[in-house]
Amino acid sequence: MTVSDPVVETVVATLSRSATEIRQGLVGRRGAVDEENPSGETQVEADIWADELLAERLSAIDGISQYASEEREAIIDCGGDAASTDGYTVAVDPLDGSSNLTSNNAMGTIVGVYDAPLPARGEDLVAAAYVLYGPITTMLLATEDTVSEYELTGGERRRIREDVTLPDDPVVYGFGGRVPDWTDTFTEYAREIETELKLRYGGAMIGDVNQVVTYGGIFGYPGLESRPEGKLRLQFEGSPIGYIIERAGGRSSNGEQSLLTVEPSEGIHERTPVFVGNEPLIDRLETQLS
């Protein structure tokens, strides 16, 4: 099944095709390079390679006017007009959780398609997708119409679930950051959740969020004592994942409000606390943190 908007469909088809190649290309690209990304994190060879591959392909699509990525400082201007209705922009995390490449654990790719110049609000998203490189390669795609899950093989995508929603009875939780670095109020919340749900944390947001989509629950990377803004990036991670989870019937939050309503104020690499999951769990979190 194709997406009704032709530009979004081309982005999704390009991502589906590229994901198979990215997965195959991880072999031999596990080593760290002597560089850091704009957020000051060590890059592996695969981060840079996947970014270059996606930048070349996504920025060449007619109707895409800007490409931004977690792995590069500046936005690529691809021509077109972001203010016009057919001028979409894309924000990409080419390899989310790439430190998991060393230990050969799950990783992902995230793409947000915005109908606004970057940096943009999550409310300007018209579609978002993540690819999960697990035992099999899957993609969860949220559009204005629905959320669907696909299996990706040989460049093809095959829909395996439609109208995906979070299960009503939550089962799992995963919270990032070192526990001694958590704030007292977040620690109190986490202590309650630990008595109710099962821990599932793998160090790659896409793997952990997909557990929440599959079983219900909550994923969070909170603001830390040493870093109140948290670790994850609003444009590349927080907003696209927030969009997917909200389209699937859940809620997203930065601890105070939906991630989709956050006005970016610090440029393309702005960080934010991220919480996504079943609505009652996010409601309780906001009450606890307020």
Nearer to ligand FBP, 99 or 187 (CB): 99
Asked if 109 and 92 touch (Cβ cutoff 8 Å), the reply is: yes
Q: What is the 3-state secondary structure (H, E, C) of the chain?
A: CCCCCHHHHHHHHHHHHHHHHHHHHCCCCCCEEEEECCCCCEEEHHHHHHHHHHHHHHHCCCCEEEEEECCCCCCEECCCCCCCCCCEEEEEEEEECCCHHHHCCCEEEEEEEECCCCCCCHHHEEEEEEEEECCCEEEEEEECCCEEEEEEECCEEEEEECCCCCCCCCCEEEECCCHHHECHHHHHHHHHHHCCCEECCCCCHHHHHHHHHHHCEEEEECCECCCCCCCCEHHHHHHHHHHHHHHCCCEEECCCCCHHHCCCCCCCCCECCEEEECHHHHHHHHHHHC
Nearer to ligand FBP, 5 or 231 (CB): 231
To the nearest whole angstrom, how small is the minimum distance from the Cβ of residue 163 to ligand FBP? 26
To the nearest whole angstrom, how small is the minimum distance from the Cβ of residue 51 to ligand FBP? 11
Nearer to ligand FBP, 16 or 69 (CB): 69
Asked if 103 and 88 touch (Cβ cutoff 8 Å), the reply is: no
Nearer to ligand FBP, 88 or 186 (CB): 186
Nearer to ligand FBP, 107 or 142 (CB): 107
To the nearest whole angstrom, how small is the minimum distance from the Cβ of residue 210 to ligand FBP? 12
Residue among 101, 126, 99, 128 nearest 115 (CA) = 126
Nearer to ligand FBP, 63 or 238 (CB): 238
To the nearest whole angstrom, how small is the minimum distance from the Cβ of residue 268 to ligand FBP? 15
Nearer to ligand FBP, 44 or 248 (CB): 44
Please return the burial class of 23, using the count of CB atoms within 10 Å of its CB with bins 0-12, 13-18 and 19+. Answer: middle
To the nearest whole angstrom, how small is the minimum distance from the Cβ of residue 27 to ligand FBP? 19
Q: Where does this chain bind ligand FBP (CB under 6 A)?
A: 41, 93, 96-99, 176-177, 203-205, 221, 231
Asked if 90 and 65 touch (Cβ cutoff 8 Å), the reply is: no
To the nearest whole angstrom, how small is the minimum distance from the Cβ of residue 63 to ligand FBP? 27
Q: Which residue is nearest to ligand FBP (CB)?
A: 205
To the nearest whole angstrom, how small is the minimum distance from the Cβ of residue 262 to ligand FBP? 18
Tokens of 174: 């995963």
To the nearest whole angstrom, how small is the minimum distance from the Cβ of residue 39 to ligand FBP? 7
Nearer to ligand FBP, 87 or 94 (CB): 94
